[in-house]
Amino acid sequence: MRNRMGNYRLEPKEFDEKVVQINRVSKKTKGGNRIGFSVLIVVGDKKGRVGVGLGKAPDVSSAIQKGVSYAKKHLIVVPLNDFTIPHDVYLKLGAAKVLLKPAPVGTGVIAGGAVRAVVEAAGIRNIVSKILGSKNQASNVYATLEALKHLRQVKKGKI
């Protein structure tokens, strides 16, 4: 978008984008090797909406664009209570196991790299988590997203 001076001005982004993993992949063909890239990206607005996308393309920038596009189309809404989650959740997805626990204000995000990217993009500021089972970042990101889908809003005064 141009302003009156003819210069382009940057508009504030609605979503924060975090690249979790970039993989260089190659395929054997008759003419030689075809090299491509696979990018896992987390997109969130830090207000409770988060999505994950996997983009594949011959170059990194196109793969990132594809991943961001997919993630924006598949956002989930995470219920938040004072910038933390309403209750504990434990989820197993494939080999990845993820445990998420709410934490009091001031604790911060105590989480590994894959979980940290997802919960920070969602806007969760106080959480304790543990990744069990798998060291695969992609599996852990998808397990964390699935765990956040299982959260339900807890009403005050009821358990």
Cα separation, 61 vs 134, in Å, equals 28
pTM of the model: 0.87
Q: What is the DSSP string of 69-105?
A: HHHHHT-EE---BTTB-SS-EEEEETTEEEEEEE--T
* CATH node for 16-76: 3.30.160.20
pLDDT of 100: 96
- Measured CA to CA in angstroms, residue 110 lies from 4, 12, 86, 134 at distances of 46, 28, 16, 18
User: Which of 1-10, 20-29, 71-80, 114-123 is least confident?
Assistant: 1-10
Q: Kindly report, as residue ranges, where domains of CATH 3.30.230.10 are found in the chain.
A: 78-149
pLDDT of 153: 84
The yes or no reply on domain 78-149 and CATH 3.50.50.60 is no
| Rounded average pLDDT over 81-108 | 94
Is residue 118 within 8 A of residue 51, CB to CB? The reply is: no
**pLDDT 10s digits, 14-59:** 899 999 999 999 999 999 999 999 999 999 999 999 999 999 999 9
